[in-house]
Structure 1
Amino acid sequence: MGEKARRALVLGGSYGGLFAARVLSEQYDEVVIVDRDRLVGTIGPRRGRPQGRHINAMHVRGLQVAEELFPGFIQELVADGCPTGDYAGSVRWFFNGKPLRREDIGYTAVPATAPLMERHVRERVEQLPAVRFVERCDIVDLVATADRSRITGARVRHLEGDGGEEVIEADLVVDATGRGSRTPAMLAKFGYPRVPEDRIKIDLGYVTQHYELDDDPWGGDLAIIPVAYPDSPRGAIFTQTDHGKVELTVYGLLGDHPPTDQEGFYAFVKSLCVPDIHEALRSARPIDEPVPFHYPVTLRRRYERMSRFPAGLVITGDAVTSFNPVYAQGMTVAALSALTLRRHLRRDSAPDPAAYFQDLASSVIDAAWEMTTTVDLGFAGVPGDRSMKVRFLQRFLSLVQAAATQDPKVTTAYMRAAGMVDPPQALMRPATLLRVLVGALKRSTGSQARQPALTRPG
């Protein structure tokens, strides 16, 4: 008699679940993805992903992982009408209200609306023979052994038909249900310790609208991105996207949220630190209404610090850490989390949760969390511990950003770190550090002439 078929159960069918399903299919005979939405064949935004109507970005490293797991993925996006350019050289970045000097760094940016990119990932997962989708189901509870030491599946309730419940058994359960994950409550019910959490209240609100434009406001660039900073806590991402559409997301922190009436929305855009976007909207034709989204706190669940945890269960994506979305780290972290999970998969056993969570924290989450929380804590109204290390990093980051307004090599180093290609510590490599310090010295002596708003050298 042959060995028993092994099943992995993925709770949640967005990016975290889809990337996890891809690597699970290498070791498990069957991978079941459960979601309350209808996924297969869905084209537009879906209810279970409210951010699907807003700006969508995958960092350089995320695209690299997507291409590794789904060869030809980038070309598929381009063939489906997505523009493409260089992550640094083709984007008009503004930090502290000033344009960065830039150059092409050889890494691709492919702006795509959220539904289109998610659909392409999902369709590649659908092609995997081991994967099947169980749609329109609520996840009611985790199922465990009698001694609660191992998770053996999940109980789900069907949202269509008779609304009945069933238990889906599995050798491994992966929670990819996002920041609203109920796993901490389920673990508490099974007698496990409370999951430690880090929360930072940013009170972020953003509004998104799509347009058609007759004129080209970019001059060959893909996007215009003025980043919020303490003296002006409002920012925007204005980008070309698939099939000739233009997408604008405008945001504000600490309760300073954009209005959703058209006149108020345009007035908010006009208040940004640079006039480029407001001027471009003079020839814009809105193709939908402004849509809001509120994001009160960033959240990190510290599973790596738990003293006890059941076997047969791991967690990924936003269900572990939910970052400030304006930094666009979530999709890339989801992709990198799948690679971490892959390192812990074995054909003859389930991964060790403790080893997985420690690896996930140290190799993926720590650096991304530190970089974004350092920036968030730069806003005086954001509560949090501003340790000596945080204050040092904030000061150093301000020097890097200032140097990047004059030196394209510093911009390149900064964008490689922001794009998660290099760790943040790479900004302190001797060659980059020297350029940053030279820039600081020039500014302190007043010897540097004022530079125009350049797009790229030459």
Structure 2
Amino acid sequence: MRGKTAVVLGGSVAGLCAAGVLARHFDEVIVLERDRLPPDAQHRRGVPQSKHPHFLLNSGRRAIGEIFPGFEEALIAAGGMLLMPSMDAAYCENDGWAPRKAGSMTMVYSSRVLIERVLRDKVRELPAIEIREGVTVTGLRSTGGGTARGRVEGVEYRAGDDSGHLSADLVVDALGRGSSVADWLSAAGWPAPPEKTLDAKVTYTSRWYDLPPADRRPQAWWWKHLVVTPTQDTGDHPEEHEFLSNFFPIEGDRAIVCMGAWGIRMPREVDTFEAAVDRVRARSFGQATRACTPTSGVHLTRSTGNKWRRFDLLDQPPLGLVCVGDSICAFNPFYAQGMSSAARSALILAEMLHGHDVLDLAFFREFLARQKKSLDVPWMLAMARDQAYDFATGSEVVAPWRRKLAARLSWPVFNAINATSREDAYVERTFAQVFNLDMSLREMTTDVRFWFGIARYKVRQRLGRTVVPGGFDDQRDPPGTDFTGQTRAGSSPSAETDLVND
């Protein structure tokens, strides 16, 4: 054991993962959660983002599985769906619908509320963990703030009309974007951690639907997930063509219809939402939504800026404190990195506790260094896209020439990677690793074999020697033909008429 008591602030994904780790190293782990936690998969006030789609990336799945063995199986047993996106999702890309074929990536689809419910079930199997609900954390208790011996020694809280404090050998901040921990530390004598910020003015809006009964769904619905990427057309078009749109499947024969965009005002009322759905550039998106039965109002979120509190840059980091999840680094939710990054930080904490006997300055400096290296991976991905917008604000805004370069190159490079992935398994696997945070963007950009594969595909494309067709008409249903293993040379999008109804 590394200590008697650990206190976790917040009972969401980040806090639950941290609690699962701490239960193996402390006599008692107390999770303080402001909300009353529902017994089932239901929304709660403290997690408004649960009303939008959530991806659990492969690296996050593995991390949670290491912390809570059997998590993935329990999630699937509860209704989550293990799917292969390249086979089970229809993607409308720049030139139309992408071809359907097997790939290296799988994903478990479910709602955020189901993920949290399964995690809570796993946490409650560990006798060392106590979840205290209806408790608001109001401050920290510490000594020697800002000095080499400065340490967080506990927390202050309020529960209804009562208030009190808890002593702790380790405190974990999992309070999310709105965490006040940095402010409490500053009041106690620590300097404020430097912050990296970038807000690309992303807004997204979602509504929940019941799918039609299986025997009443259109024949064209071979897909489970429908994705329409923003147009790259620079001419006149409805602003809905700029949306990144998802028809996202979840448990219980339901879907979350979500639309979002950079720098565009999004619909927040039912009538404007329904009108926008019909104007998304692929007609199948509106048709699919109209075939379903709405079960919620419209949920809109604007709190999407990237923010990284750099505790690793402090000369004297606070001992006795670890920050995980959005409380340390919050990402643009469009990139689906938050839950996985939080689980990865918890796994680093597990490795640190396993390898160290004392929670001293060396322990916290090494944890912060390793966490920083882990967070660099998703942060670089978020910056690569969000820095391309002229209206972005924050410390990480780049020079105009870099914005123009990013804006000019990002889509052509993305298109080339997607097209090459149809025929080059190495390029497909590499990009899937980057998407899932198993490889950094830097590693990909310096991979000679990766870029050779793209260059070779572009030459074959110019010579008319590509194999797998693409660019199917986005005004028609996405073709369900399985192109896995196709080797017949000379195939081209002209074959579309024969393929659409396969």
Identify whether the pair has TM-score above 0.5, normalized to the shorter chain.
yes
- Specify the code of the residue in structure 2 equivalent to 1:436: I
Aligned to 1:224: 226
Distance 1:269 1:350, change over 3 A: same
1:78 to 76, 79, 82: 76
Aligned to 1:429: 447
Question: How big is each residue's C-alpha offset from its partner over 1:76-134, in whole Å with a ceiling of 9 and x where there is no partner?
Answer: 22222222211443222344464444543344312111111111011101111110011
Aligned to 1:273: 281
Which structure has the greater CA radius of gyration? 2
Distance 1:315 1:16, change over 3 A: same
**Does residue 457 in structure 1 map to residue 497 in structure 2?**
no
Q: How does 1:168-179 map to 2 (within 5 A)?
A: 168-179=166-177
Aligned to 2:348: 340
**Does residue 213 in structure 1 map to residue 211 in structure 2?**
yes
- Specify the code of the residue in structure 2 equivalent to 1:401: N
- Percent identity over the alignment? 24
Distance 1:396 1:49, change over 3 A: closer
Secondary structure, counterpart of 1:258 in structure 2: coil
* Distance (whole Å) between structure 1 residues aligned to residue 218 and residue 80 of structure 2: 16
* Distance (whole Å) between structure 2 residues aligned to residue 361 and residue 123 of structure 1: 30
Aligned to 2:20: 22
* Distance (whole Å) between structure 1 residues aligned to residue 158 and residue 329 of structure 2: 26
* Distance (whole Å) between structure 2 residues aligned to residue 217 and residue 177 of structure 1: 46
Aligned to 2:158: 157
Aligned to 1:353: 364
Aligned to 1:376: 386
Distance 1:369 1:233, change over 3 A: farther
Aligned to 2:497: none
Q: How does 1:380-395 map to 2 (within 5 A)?
A: 380-383=390-393, 384-386=397-399, 391=405, 395=409
Offset, 1:290: 1.5
Q: How does 1:217-366 map to 2 (within 5 A)?
A: 219-228=221-230, 233-254=242-263, 256-345=264-353, 348-350=357-359, 352-362=363-373, 364-366=374-376
Contact 2:206 2:299 (C-alpha < 8 Å) held by counterparts: yes
- Specify the code of the residue in structure 2 equivalent to 1:291: H
Aligned to 2:434: 417
TM-score (norm 2): 0.82
* Distance (whole Å) between structure 1 residues aligned to residue 54 and residue 390 of structure 2: 28
TM-score (norm 1): 0.90
Distance 1:260 1:189, change over 3 A: same
Q: Which runs of 5+ in 1 are unaligned?
A: none
* Distance (whole Å) between structure 1 residues aligned to residue 459 and residue 329 of structure 2: 38
Offset, 1:9: 0.6
* Distance (whole Å) between structure 2 residues aligned to residue 177 and residue 205 of structure 1: 22
Offset, 1:169: 0.6
* Distance (whole Å) between structure 2 residues aligned to residue 186 and residue 125 of structure 1: 28
Aligned to 2:7: 9
* Distance (whole Å) between structure 2 residues aligned to residue 225 and residue 420 of structure 1: 21
Offset, 1:229: 6.3
* Distance (whole Å) between structure 2 residues aligned to residue 343 and residue 234 of structure 1: 41
2:413 to 399, 420, 429: 399
* Distance (whole Å) between structure 2 residues aligned to residue 273 and residue 243 of structure 1: 28
Distance 1:392 1:56, change over 3 A: closer
* Distance (whole Å) between structure 2 residues aligned to residue 21 and residue 422 of structure 1: 27
Aligned to 2:494: none
Offset, 1:233: 3.6
Offset, 1:338: 0.6
* Distance (whole Å) between structure 2 residues aligned to residue 51 and residue 396 of structure 1: 27
Offset, 1:426: 3.3
